[in-house]
Amino acid sequence: MSVEMVSLGLACADVMVRPVDEWPERGKLTLVPDIEMHLGGLASVTAAVYRRLGGASALITKVGSDGFGRFITRELDRQGVDVSQVRVAEGEGSASTAVLIDSQGERTFLHNPGASASLCEDDVDVTAFSSARALHWGGPAVTPGLDGEPIGRIMEKARGMGLITSMDTCYDGAGKWYSRIEHALPHLTIAMSSFEEARMYMGKDTPEAIADALLAHGPEVAVVKLGPDGVLVKAAGECHRIPSHRVDVMDTTGAGDASCAGFLYAFLHGWGLERCARIANAVGALTVQVMGGSEGVTSFEQVERLADDTDSLRN
């Protein structure tokens, strides 16, 4: 199978607990109805959902030689993602996250970076995928060995190969923010970020101002994910803001990562930016209705039906 989109960055195992509306009393036992393990991580969820949409995807990442690592690789393979460039760090643990989900679907994360912290430029061989059309990075702060100059060189090389390049940001618990992405921005085709993260990365307070700031640093397209308020997409002379769909929210984990896959799938098919935004928006709406970031999408036809259902959009 020829690979269209290569996703680079974080893959982790998400141990998800729901609902958690308050912390249990210290030292006590609290019963919960749902504890599940799902594929997580910005890069892996994007790769998996892209494959579910019908595209061919691969993942470049690093996992440990533990049970979490075996789960991640097995799950990616089960979903049809090319795992030939997934490195295994012997003797290390894999990235893993405890995800505490409240009754409204909001998440709180406890993250162990594991082997993803040592993912570096030497681990990245984009040329292994000669048929690829796009390289996607997800994301800064959770793959610190790629942040800064290394990801700049990787993206510059990818653009030189004729690839479409994109990035999706992650929350930066260390507070470095812009310095993690500044070297990548001049070499990106598409910059994607959630609104709350983008405020910190770009120092702006409105979606439009954030999009303008991203575009001023080099990308051709800026995508600002607005959660319950939908999505904003902007490029030179063009801006589209699509409201979210009215759906029952179970878990918002991975919805932004999944929507990146939807946008890239539509963009690589040559569709207009408004259509790309509607597809991304629909993917996100499907994802929040189930637990886990990659399970909500079953086919492109499912996504297209929701994207075309304008009656379900919030006013």
pLDDT, one tens digit per residue, over 197-229 is 999 999 999 999 999 999 999 999 999 999 999
Give the pLDDT confidence of 173-191 residue by residue, as tens digits: 899 999 999 999 999 999 9
**Mean pLDDT within 236-256:** 95
Q: What are phi and psi of 193, to 5 degrees?
A: -160, 150
pLDDT at 23 over 90: no
Q: What is the pTM of this model?
A: 0.95
**Mean pLDDT within 249-274:** 96
Q: Do 155 and 137 contact (CB within 8 A), yes or no?
A: yes
**Mean pLDDT within 67-96:** 96
Q: Where are the beta strands (DSSP E) in 122-273?
A: 134-138, 164-168, 190-194, 221-225, 231-235, 238-242
Q: What is the pLDDT of residue 215?
A: 98
Q: Do 223 and 263 contact (CB within 8 A), yes or no?
A: yes
CATH of residue 191: 3.40.1190.20
**Mean pLDDT within 102-118:** 91
Please state which of the ranges 97-101, 184-188, 276-280 shows the lowest mean pLDDT.
Answer: 97-101
Residue 41 tokens read as 């991580």
Residue 86 tokens read as 């997934």
Terminal Cα distance for the chain, rounded: 42
Question: What does the alpha-carbon distance between residue 76 and residue 61 come to, in Å, rounded to a whole number?
Answer: 12
> Which has the higher per-residue pLDDT, 173 or 278?
278
Q: Do 123 and 146 contact (CB within 8 A), yes or no?
A: no
For the chain, percent of residues with pLDDT exceeding 90: 93
Cis preceding-peptide flag for 33 (omega within 30 of 0): no
Distances (CA, A) of 56 to 96, 132, 225, 250: 25, 9, 24, 28
With DSSP H G I counted as helix, E B as strand and the rest as coil, what are the percentages for the chain, rounded to 5?
Answer: 35, 25, 40
Q: What is the pLDDT of residue 299?
A: 97
Question: What does the alpha-carbon distance between residue 185 and residue 119 come to, in Å, rounded to a whole number?
Answer: 20
Q: What is the pLDDT of residue 151?
A: 98
pLDDT at 1 over 70: no
**Tally of domains in the chain:** 1
Q: Do 163 and 126 contact (CB within 8 A), yes or no?
A: yes
Position 98: which residue type? A
Residue recorded with tokens 């998440």? 107
Question: What does the alpha-carbon distance between residue 170 and residue 187 come to, in Å, rounded to a whole number?
Answer: 19
Q: What is the pLDDT of residue 130?
A: 86
Q: Angle of helix 67-78 relative to helix 42-52, nearest 10 degrees?
A: 20
Q: How far is CA 244 from the centre of its chain?
A: 18
Mean pLDDT score of the chain: 96
Hey, how many other C-beta atoms are within 10 angstroms of the C-beta on 227? 16
Given CA atoms 111, 114, 116, 120 in this order, what sign does their dihedral have? positive
Q: Domain range holding 227?
A: 5-312
